[in-house]
Structure 1
Amino acid sequence: MHDVHSTEYSFKPKDALLGAQMLFVAFGALVLVPLLTGLDANVALFTAGAGTLLFQAVTRGKVPVFLASSFAFIAPIIYGVQTWGIPATMCGLFGAGVLYVVISLLVRIFGVGMLRRILPPVVTGPVIMVIGLILAPVAVHMAMGRTGDGSAWLVPSATAMIIAGVALLTTILASLLGRGWIKLIPILLGITAGYATSLVLDATGFAAATQAAFDPGQLPNWTAPTLVDFSKIGAAPLLAVPNFVFPTWNLEAILFIVPVAIAPAIEHFGDVLAIGNISGKDYVKDPGVQNTLLGDGLATSLAAALGGPPNTTYSEVSGAVALTRAFNPGIMTWAAITAIVLAFVGKLGAFLGTIPTPVMGGIMILLFGAITVIGINTLVRAGNDLMLPRNLAVVGIILVVGIGGMTFDMVSVKLGGIGLAGIVGVVLNLVLPCKNCNDPLPDEVSPSAPDHHTDL
């Protein structure tokens, strides 16, 4: 068997190009998170590569996965950066990685079944839904040409809706109609189409004419005659060290962000099952989900220690593995090395910074809607009767606490949003009596398929 298709680790120069292709598949989603949250895209590239290498070290190079920016943390990162700043937010994200490590230790002691007992679908499903729904206003504001909080105009609404519409439609069509590699990079294609549309609107004078006639109303007007400013690229150095940011202690950020890790932690188990089904190996047993969780947690904490977004296994890359049947984990080593090298290309980060806001807004409409649907699907696949009083209470309270923006003031910190919703869900699930609450609906069988990942 060719060593590319073997599940045994093999690191050879001839596989470098295939590894770069794996990074290309993940690239659109990888850089989307820092672009949406205000983090540095070059740092995200570096921490994705370094995190993947650390994961491989922990799992002894047995699992062909690539780790990169997690969508599940977009909402808390946006809130954290606006509220406490990037260094304090990194402290909370570092704590999320530590929670992964703690869960991995519990799995090592009590077994995999412990995950499902503490974090059943009635908890993880609505938490995932909250992550998507709480971000819906941000997506709409950006698609319409405003800042994420809607407080000012960045692009005239008519221009913004055209760009966002093209980016959104391209992403949808690539997901629905794409074949082979095209189907694996819908986000990257959507960003490319939206960017190209922006260039066309600039070249034809449409953007300038629309901006000149634009009425911002009561909001501040930060619009410009051109959508894409290439001066940023010219001013950036060709090679530069990524703008690393180190965490500063903030207990409030920790309490807000750490519970968010509940949903991606349980989904990690599904990801390990999925890549095992693709490659024909049982990674739950070897190297063991306790080790894959440990690797994911350490990679997330490493990313936060340097100012990058949390890491998670990428479903797009798993799809590429299925398409190419390249099961050799050494290929992911090449993908990680490529990401680290690109992180030091200063003009790459500057180029990504020229992408107009509505491009991201169009992608976000689909992305955050998809996250919400994944949460719904988690509940549907479990097959539990949600009208049973106990299940209704758990799911309903999580949704209202999270989407409603409830906060809880402690002595020196404030807990709220997704974090509070996650904690409330776990506590309710543990303390409320469970009589027939996990039985499937009549005449239905609960499927055993793993949860879907929150990345497109």
Structure 2
Amino acid sequence: MSDVHSTEYSFKPKDALLGAQMLFVAFGALVLVPLLTGLDSNVALFTAGVGTLVFQLITRGRVPVFLASSFAFIAPIIYGVQTWGIPSTMCGLFGAGILYVIISCLIRIFGVEMLKRILPPIVTGPVIMVIGLILAPTAVHMAMGRTGDGSAWLVPNDTAMIIAGVSLLTTIFASLLGRGWIKLIPILLGIIAGYVTSLILDVSGFAASAQATFDPGQLQNWTTPTLVNFGKIAEAPLLALPNFVFPTWNLEAILFIVPVAIAPAIEHFGDILAIGGISGKDYVKDPGVQNTMLGDGIATSLAAMLGGPPNTTYSEVSGAVALTRAFNPGIMTWAAITAVILAFFGKLGAILNTIPVPVMGGIMILLFGAITVIGINTLVRAGNDLMLPRNLAIVSIILVFGIGGMNFDLIIVKLGGIGLSGIIGVILNLILPCKDCNDAQPDDELGL
């Protein structure tokens, strides 16, 4: 067996190109999170690379995974940035990483079954659904050419719908009909298709014509005759330090964001099972899910210390591993190094920042809907009878609290949204009696 197909760690220069290809698979999803949340794309690249290296160090180079921007935190990051600013939001994200570390310690003490008792599908399923549904209005606003809150126009509606439609359909058809590598990069292809469409509308004069006759109604009009402004690229330096942002203490942000980590903590366990099934090794035992969770947590907290989004294991890259049968974890080291190097190219971030809002909006429609469906599927696969009084109460309260915007003012801190719904779900699951509550069986892989 060659070094590439071996599950043993081997770091050799000849694998550098394959590592870069693994980053290419993750690139679209990796940069999508900072583009949607207002964080710096170059910082996200840097923290993804460094986070993956930290993960490999903690897991002793056993697992062929790549860590990068987590979709689960998009909603709280957007809210946090708008409410408290980036530094305070980073404080909350740092706390989320610490929660992973705490969970890893509990697993080390009580075993993996502890996760199932505290975070069963009846809690994690609806929490994941809330994460997707709470952002639905933002996706629609951006697809229509408005700001995320819908208060102003950035692109005329007709133009925006064309761009968003191309991005959305390209992403869908790439995932449905694509073969080989194409099937692994639907988001990246959607972004490219939307961007190219924007350029065509600019060159043809359609964008300028639509902007000249556009009626913004009662909303502010921030539209311009061109969709893509290359001036930003020309002004950006070729090489530059990423725009690192350091966290500042904010207890309210911590209590709002930390409970969101409940869902990706369960997702992490499923990802480790998946990559183990692909490579034929039991990573739950070696290096142990307690160590993989620890690596994920420290990588997430480290990212927050520098202004980057939380990290998570990427299923796209796991798919690429399955396709290429490149099980050597050293290849992910090359992917991480490539990400760190690209982070210092200032013009890369400038190019990403020229992507028109409707491109992101079209992809967000599919993305946030998919997150919601994952939550539904978590409940379906667990086999819980949702009409049983206990299950009905837990799911109903989580959904209404999260989507409805319920919040409590606890004098020293205000708790609401996804964070509140997650905390309430965990508490209800622990305190409500469980007579005939139709819990999932031990062999259902935690409902994932």
TM-score for both structures, normalised by structure 2: 0.99
Match of 2:133 in 1: 133
Match of 1:373 in 2: 373
Match of 1:195 in 2: 195
Match of 2:345 in 1: 345
Assess if the C-alpha contact under 8 Å between 2:130 and 2:399 holds in 1.
yes
SS at match of 2:42: helix
Match of 2:428 in 1: 428
Q: Could you tell me which of 416, 422, 444 is aligned with 1:448?
A: 444
Amino acid at match of 2:124: T
Assess if the C-alpha contact under 8 Å between 1:381 and 1:447 holds in 2.
no
After the TM superposition, which residues 160-239 of structure 1 pair with which residues of structure 2 at under 5 Å, given as runs?
160-239=160-239
- 1:324-380 deviation digits (Å, cap 9, x = unpaired): 000000000000000000000000000000000000000000000000000000000
Match of 1:123 in 2: 123
SS at match of 2:152: coil
Query: How many Å apart are 1:412 and its aligned residue?
Result: 1.6
> Partners of 1:290 and 1:436 in 2: how far apart?
31
> Partners of 1:433 and 1:333 in 2: how far apart?
48
Match of 1:245 in 2: 245
Evaluate the alpha carbon distance shift between residue 98 and residue 446 of structure 1 in structure 2; reply closer, same or farther with a 3 A threshold: closer
SS at match of 2:220: coil
Assess if the C-alpha contact under 8 Å between 1:121 and 1:378 holds in 2.
yes
Assess if the C-alpha contact under 8 Å between 1:405 and 1:416 holds in 2.
yes
Query: How many Å apart are 1:34 and its aligned residue?
Result: 0.1
SS at match of 2:221: coil
> Partners of 1:324 and 1:370 in 2: how far apart?
26
Where structure 1 has 5 or more consecutive residues not aligned to the other structure, the ranges are: none
> Partners of 2:219 and 2:300 in 1: how far apart?
38
Match of 2:155 in 1: 155
Amino acid at match of 1:434: C
Match of 2:8 in 1: 8
> Partners of 2:442 and 2:108 in 1: how far apart?
26
Amino acid at match of 2:8: E
Q: How many residues align?
A: 448
Amino acid at match of 2:407: T
> Partners of 1:277 and 1:198 in 2: how far apart?
41
- 1:251-302 deviation digits (Å, cap 9, x = unpaired): 0000000000000001111110000000000000000000000000000000
Please report the RMSD computed on the Cα atoms of aligned residues, expressed in angstroms.
Answer: 1.0
Amino acid at match of 2:383: G
Amino acid at match of 1:448: D
Match of 1:285 in 2: 285
Match of 1:17 in 2: 17
Query: How many Å apart are 1:52 and its aligned residue?
Result: 0.1
> Partners of 2:148 and 2:267 in 1: how far apart?
28
SS at match of 1:233: helix
Runs of 4+ that moved beyond 3 A: 449-452
Assess if the C-alpha contact under 8 Å between 1:49 and 1:336 holds in 2.
yes
Assess if the C-alpha contact under 8 Å between 2:20 and 2:334 holds in 1.
yes
Amino acid at match of 1:119: L
> Partners of 1:165 and 1:28 in 2: how far apart?
18
Match of 1:80 in 2: 80
Amino acid at match of 1:138: T
> Partners of 1:196 and 1:102 in 2: how far apart?
45
- 1:399-422 deviation digits (Å, cap 9, x = unpaired): 000000000101121000000000
> Partners of 1:437 and 1:325 in 2: how far apart?
42
Query: How many Å apart are 1:178 and its aligned residue?
Result: 0.4
Match of 1:36 in 2: 36
> Partners of 2:119 and 2:94 in 1: how far apart?
21
> Partners of 1:207 and 1:166 in 2: how far apart?
15
Amino acid at match of 2:314: Y
Assess if the C-alpha contact under 8 Å between 1:153 and 1:216 holds in 2.
yes
Match of 1:58 in 2: 58
Match of 2:255 in 1: 255
> Partners of 1:152 and 1:80 in 2: how far apart?
20
- 1:112-139 deviation digits (Å, cap 9, x = unpaired): 0000000000000000000000000000
SS at match of 1:4: coil
> Partners of 1:235 and 1:338 in 2: how far apart?
24
Match of 1:303 in 2: 303
Query: How many Å apart are 1:448 and its aligned residue?
Result: 2.2
Query: How many Å apart are 1:436 and its aligned residue?
Result: 1.7
Evaluate the alpha carbon distance shift between residue 451 and residue 175 of structure 1 in structure 2; reply closer, same or farther with a 3 A threshold: farther
- 1:297-325 deviation digits (Å, cap 9, x = unpaired): 00000000000000000000000000000
Amino acid at match of 1:111: G
Assess if the C-alpha contact under 8 Å between 1:383 and 1:447 holds in 2.
no
> Partners of 1:7 and 1:89 in 2: how far apart?
38
Assess if the C-alpha contact under 8 Å between 2:98 and 2:301 holds in 1.
yes
> Partners of 2:443 and 2:265 in 1: how far apart?
20
SS at match of 2:415: strand
> Partners of 1:371 and 1:78 in 2: how far apart?
16
> Partners of 1:276 and 1:321 in 2: how far apart?
11
Where structure 2 has 5 or more consecutive residues not aligned to the other structure, the ranges are: none
Match of 2:274 in 1: 274
> Partners of 2:118 and 2:245 in 1: how far apart?
34
Query: How many Å apart are 1:384 and its aligned residue?
Result: 1.1
Same amino acid, percent of matched pairs: 85
Evaluate the alpha carbon distance shift between residue 450 and residue 15 of structure 1 in structure 2; reply closer, same or farther with a 3 A threshold: farther
Evaluate the alpha carbon distance shift between residue 377 and residue 391 of structure 1 in structure 2; reply closer, same or farther with a 3 A threshold: same
SS at match of 1:239: coil
Match of 1:100 in 2: 100
Query: How many Å apart are 1:447 and its aligned residue?
Result: 6.9
- 1:379-411 deviation digits (Å, cap 9, x = unpaired): 000001111000000011000000000001011
TM-score for both structures, normalised by structure 1: 0.97
Query: How many Å apart are 1:438 and its aligned residue?
Result: 2.6
Assess if the C-alpha contact under 8 Å between 1:247 and 1:304 holds in 2.
yes
SS at match of 1:312: strand
SS at match of 2:408: strand
